[in-house]
């Protein structure tokens, strides 16, 4: 899923400036799972803002809405009839949702209420960790199912680097060395000999480096 984290409320308040009619817009997908932008968090943020504006003796209307997804036209259309009632939207979906909302409602300011962090997994409640950077050319078959692009601080394709110590990364003793995991997994798969295969230079043109990407699937297009 896409993992996001809450923005400090002070930052959101600053974004909102003098707006007086605000819609807090949540999303039922990834950000709900990572407890940053679902219905519950919409409620919490709305209450916090109401209290803040009350203390400031400002009459600001704060409404709540949570869509099934903010990255699909279909669900975003559900608020079309009421968008005109607001002079700002705070989207607490991921950056995709914020942008898709802004594209659709072109004359309404849309502010981000979360920081979108990475594509990751829930290790346990309250702990999410990165697994994928969407490089567009998956190499997991070669690396025992563990991704050095997203999990190595130097995205070393022929690792580990000299900074791996006790299975931990040089940047932080709490970060597991991805290449330690890859070596262990290759051994478990009885593929340790593959370690000595050189990984070729990666084609990063399918990564961020190649510019904004798109996937076109004519087979499923209407």
Partner 1 sequence: MKGNTASRLKKVLSAGHLAVTSECGPPRGSDPEVITKKANLIKDHVDAVNITDNQTSVTRMCSLAACIRLKLLGLDPVLQMVTRDRNRIAIQSDILGAASYDISNILCLSGDHQSFGDCAQGQNVHDLDSMQLIQTVRHMRDDGKFLGGDEIKRPPQMFVGAAANPFADPFEIRVPRLAKKIKAGAEFIQTQCIYNLDKFEEWMKLTRDRGLHEQVYILAGMTPMKSAGMAKYMKNRVPGMDVPDELVKRLSDTPKEKQAEEGIKICIEDIQRLKEVKGVSGFHVMAIEWEEMVPEIVEKSGLYPRPEV
Q: Between 62 and 183, whose beta carbon lies closer to partner 1? A: 183
**Distance of closest approach, residue 212 Cβ to partner 1, in angstroms:** 18
Token pair belonging to 18: 């003098």
Counting contacts by CB under 8 A, is residue 75 touching partner 1?
no
**Distance of closest approach, residue 161 Cβ to partner 1, in angstroms:** 5
Q: Name the nearest CA neighbour of 159 among 206, 204, 120, 198.
A: 198
- Helices assigned H by DSSP within the chain: 9-16, 30-33, 39-55, 73-76, 95-104, 148-151, 178-188
Q: Per-residue contact track with partner 1, 142 to 171, x per CB under 8 A?
A: -----------xxxxxxxxxxxxxxx--xx
Size of the site for partner 1 (CB under 8 A): 28
Per-residue exposure over 60-98, b if at least 16 CB sit within 10 Å of its own CB, e if not: bebeebbbebbbeeebbeebeeebeebebbbbbbbebbb
Distance, in Å, from the CA atom of 93 to the CA atom of 28, rounded to the nearest integer, reads 9
Q: Strands 61-67 and 21-27, how do they pair?
A: parallel
Q: Between 79 and 186, whose beta carbon lies closer to partner 1? A: 186
Looking at the chain, how many residues does it have?
222
**Distance of closest approach, residue 197 Cβ to partner 1, in angstroms:** 8
**Distance of closest approach, residue 216 Cβ to partner 1, in angstroms:** 27
Burial of 148 from C-beta contacts in 10 A (0-12 / 13-18 / 19+) = buried
Residues 15-44 that bind partner 1 (CB under 8 A): none
Q: Between 58 and 134, whose beta carbon lies closer to partner 1? A: 134
Counting contacts by CB under 8 A, is residue 91 touching partner 1?
no
Counting contacts by CB under 8 A, is residue 195 touching partner 1?
yes
Which range binds partner 1 by CB under 8 A, 4-12, 40-48, 99-107, 195-203?
A: 195-203
Distance, in Å, from the CA atom of 186 to the CA atom of 99, rounded to the nearest integer, reads 41
Residue 103 CB coordination number (10 Å):
11
Note the Cα 86 to chain centre separation in Å.
26
Q: Per-residue contact track with partner 1, 168 to 187, x per CB under 8 A?
A: --xx-----x--x--xx---
Counting contacts by CB under 8 A, is residue 211 touching partner 1?
no
Counting contacts by CB under 8 A, is residue 201 touching partner 1?
yes
Residues lying near partner 1 in the complex (CB under 8 A) are found at 153-167, 170-171, 177, 180, 183-184, 195-196, 198-201, 204
């Amino acid at each position: 899923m896409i993992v996001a984290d809450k923005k400090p409320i002070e930052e959101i308040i600053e974004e909102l400036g003098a707006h007086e009619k605000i819609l807090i817009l949540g999303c039922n997908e990834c950000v709900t799972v990572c407890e940053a932008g679902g219905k519950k968090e919409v409620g919490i943020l709305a209450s916090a803002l109401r209290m803040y504006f009350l203390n400031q003796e400002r009459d600001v209307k704060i409404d709540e809405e949570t869509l099934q997804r903010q990255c699909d036209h279909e669900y975003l259309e559900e608020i079309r009839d009421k968008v005109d009632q607001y002079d700002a939207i705070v989207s607490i979906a991921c950056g995709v949702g914020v942008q898709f909302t802004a594209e659709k409602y072109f004359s309404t300011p849309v502010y981000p209420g979360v920081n979108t962090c990475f594509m990751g997994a829930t290790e346990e409640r309250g702990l999410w960790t990165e697994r994928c950077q969407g490089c567009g050319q998956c190499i997991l078959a070669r690396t025992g199912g563990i991704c050095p692009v997203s999990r190595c601080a130097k995205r070393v394709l022929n690792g580990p680097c000299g900074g791996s110590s006790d299975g931990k990364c040089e940047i932080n003793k709490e970060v597991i060395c991805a290449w330690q995991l890859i070596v262990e997994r290759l051994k478990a798969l009885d593929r340790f000999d593959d370690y000595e295969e050189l990984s070729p230079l990666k084609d990063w043109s399918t990564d961020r480096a190649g510019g904004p990407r798109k996937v076109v699937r004519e087979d499923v297009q209407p």
